[in-house]
A and B are shown apart, each in its own frame.
Chain A
Amino acid sequence: MNSKSIYRSKIRKYRIKKALTMLFVYSVLLIPLIPILLMLGWLFAQSFSEGPTNTVIPRGFTLENFKFLWARIRFGLSEYPTIWPLVMNSLIIAIATVAFEVPIAALAGYSLSRMEFKGRTETMRLIIALHAFPGVILLIALFYILNRMGLYGKGLLTLLGVALIKAGLSVPMDTWILKGFFDGIPWELEWAALVDGASRFKAWRKVLLPIIAPGISAIAIFSFMSGWGEFLLAYTYVKRKELYPLSVFLYSVLGEFVFVDWGLLAAITLFYIAPILLFYALTQKTLLKLQLVGAVKG
């Protein structure tokens, strides 16, 4: 009887200790996240609030803030007829980024994975080196190149220039990721195509690309999202107001801090971040995996 109670108290002690450890673990993991969660909560609350709110509870409920979707937008001194041209600008950058990035990375990834050629190892070294090298410090020289190519200050071409550079800075890593996908396909599939008389190019296009479609679409989604969220390049190279993508527009609104209409600001921000949150919810697994190989630099 006595030994049993000692045993029980030992178990109880162990359980308390375990519970305290877990409490500590969870508080270290979650307490620092509170500010971030509060901010996101505020974003939702504020965009449906009637006035500025300093909590995560909306003050009243209104859809007034979302009027920007059809009416003209007035922020301090600047005025925009509607938001849709800005959305179009963001979309152009995002789509062009995908269009520049994916085909080049898919070709190069295939070649690096399955062809023997002089300089192959050196190319892979170069890719790793470029991935480590911080591209954002080259903005001045890239500005020079945009100027020389005639892509600066030429209307919509400027947006294409932004996408061109945006894609260029992430092409090495995409090539690397797609090479990994190609490495996963057994030789036999390609041999079968080649024996049937296909050229390497045809085998790539008709046999291998469909197999790595998940990889291609992951890369495409990622580059679309990073093009959609692009700020620095667009801010640096796009100077005309009607060509602003949403990111630069939001930034310019933040600059006019005198007349900040927090409700409108939050509503536009929510509108801007919605596709990202959606994709985020849909691709969690791929997200964690691609983070591992460093798809998103930082």
Chain B
Amino acid sequence: MKIRDVFLSISYFLNKVEPLKIFFSKAISITKKYSRRSLPYLFMMPFFAYIMLTWIGPVVITIILSFTKTQWTITNMRFIGLKNFEKIFTRDIFAFDAFKVTALYVSTVIIINAFFSLILAIFTTYFIKNETIASGIRLLWLVPRITPAVIYAVLWRWFVDPDIGMLNRLLSLFGLPAPSDWRLTAPYSQILMILINGYVGASFGMIIYSAAITSIPRELFYAASVDGASDWQIIRRIILPLLKWPVFFVTSWQTLSLLSSYEHILAFWGEAGTARAAEVEVWALYSYTKAFYDDEYGYGAALSVFLVIIGMFFIVIFFKIFGFRRMMQPSRVEV
């Protein structure tokens, strides 16, 4: 557009000279034609450049780094082939621990994220008829997700603190045993890890499911209950079958994001050694620790390559199963 303006202004001053006039009118029509085809790319240019910088580039660099020994500073690279991977599979006990913790973490938190959230959604949409109350409860469930990770960690640190926290007081109120250190002793710290991340993850599924349930025509429920169906039968025979795809979607989506999420664990347990001692060091956190605490960037990258591959695998599944068309509405140019 800029180029054309320049041409226009020049041609304005020079249009008395006949040959130049012809030349410029031709130039303008060429830029017009050219710009019609290139204009979309001009609009998209910053986006593509940015995507290259923050997504495509890093994926490639992660893979390259994983074949190197990069220690102390990240620019100090030495190509060592597959040695990093060899070490992960044969000599690294921490990697195996991280693998076990990750398996525990994903398989338990996914129950909250994909199935407890289903209960939340059904209860707030089907049973609670008052829309204000329902969305109020949904908003409350969003609080852990909206709260920045560090503040969320501060709140939990107080809540489970053995001296001034409230959790142990509540437990002893009900006559339950109160562990002296929730944060650092193994089974309790793992329960804590599941709870902390479960609260954050529950709202995602809840909102997706709620939208799906609200789109079911209410008449179906009325008709069923006139025919004598109980609430449970309506849920079992009408709502759940219609939610098959959303449940599958949320489950796979959340599995992928759980595999790679460690921000809350890092914020709550802090320094690398603490998370490892408390046995809550998931694979992604282990990769992070290796790179940014031990300054072994190459090895950290090799660990995260596994997650990159899993991520790509999941994306292929998303496209194959859910289909591209179903994931997006038609755009302006298509209607």
Q: Which of A91-147 contact B (CB under 8 A)?
A: 100, 103-105, 107-108, 110-117, 120, 123-126, 128-130, 132-145, 147
Specify which chain A residues have a CB less than 8 angstroms from the CB of B204 in the assembled complex: 291, 298
Q: Which secondary structure dominates chain A's binding surface?
A: helix
CB closest residue in chain B, given A37: B140
Closest CB in chain A relative to B45 CB, distance in Å: 8
Q: List 22 A-B contacts (CB under 8 A).
A: A32-B199, A35-B159, A35-B167, A40-B143, A53-B164, A111-B44, A134-B307, A136-B263, A137-B308, A138-B59, A138-B304, A140-B301, A143-B297, A145-B58, A183-B330, A232-B263, A255-B270, A255-B271, A262-B164, A280-B146, A288-B139, A292-B207
Contact A254 B41 (CB under 8 A): no
Q: Does B22 contact A (CB under 8 A)?
A: no
B interface residues, tally (CB under 8 Å): 105
Complex formed: what's the CA distance from A116 to B331 in Å? 10
Chain A minimum-CB-distance residue to B335 = A183
Task: Give the chain A neighbours of B304 by CB distance below 8 A.
Answer: 137-138, 140
Among residues of B, the one whose C-beta sits closest to the C-beta of A123 is B44
- Within 8 Å by CB of B144, from A36, A113, A136, lies A36
Min distance, Cβ B90 to any Cβ of chain A, angstroms? 22
Q: How far is the CA of A201 from the CA of B39 in the complex (A)?
A: 9
Nearest CB of chain B from residue A230's CB, rounded to whole Å: 8
A81, CB-defined interface residue at 8 Å: no
Determine the chain B residues whose CB is within 8 A of the CB of A287 once the complex forms: 139, 142, 146
Most chain B beta carbons < 10 A, residue from A29, A103, A145? A29
CA distance A138 to B65 in the complex (A): 11
User: What total count of A-B pairs have CB within 8 Å?
Assistant: 291
A171–B149 touching, CB < 8 Å:
no
Give the shortest distance, in Å, between A218 (CB) and chain B (any CB): 15
Q: Kindly identify which residue among B47, B137, B201, B270 contacts A298, using a CB–CB cutoff of 8 Å.
A: B201
Taking A138-B59, A202-B1, A251-B150 as given, write out 20 further A-B residue pairs in contact, using a Cβ cutoff of 8 Å, ordered by the A residue number.
Answer: A33-B141, A38-B159, A39-B155, A43-B155, A111-B40, A120-B40, A120-B333, A125-B324, A128-B327, A132-B314, A134-B261, A134-B311, A140-B304, A143-B74, A143-B292, A145-B54, A201-B1, A231-B267, A232-B149, A288-B139
Q: For the complex, is B318 an interface residue (Cβ under 8 Å from A)?
A: yes
Decide if A247 touches B148 in the complex (CB within 8 Å): yes
Interface residue total, chain A, C-beta cutoff 8 A: 107
Interface status of B245 (Cβ within 8 A of chain A): no
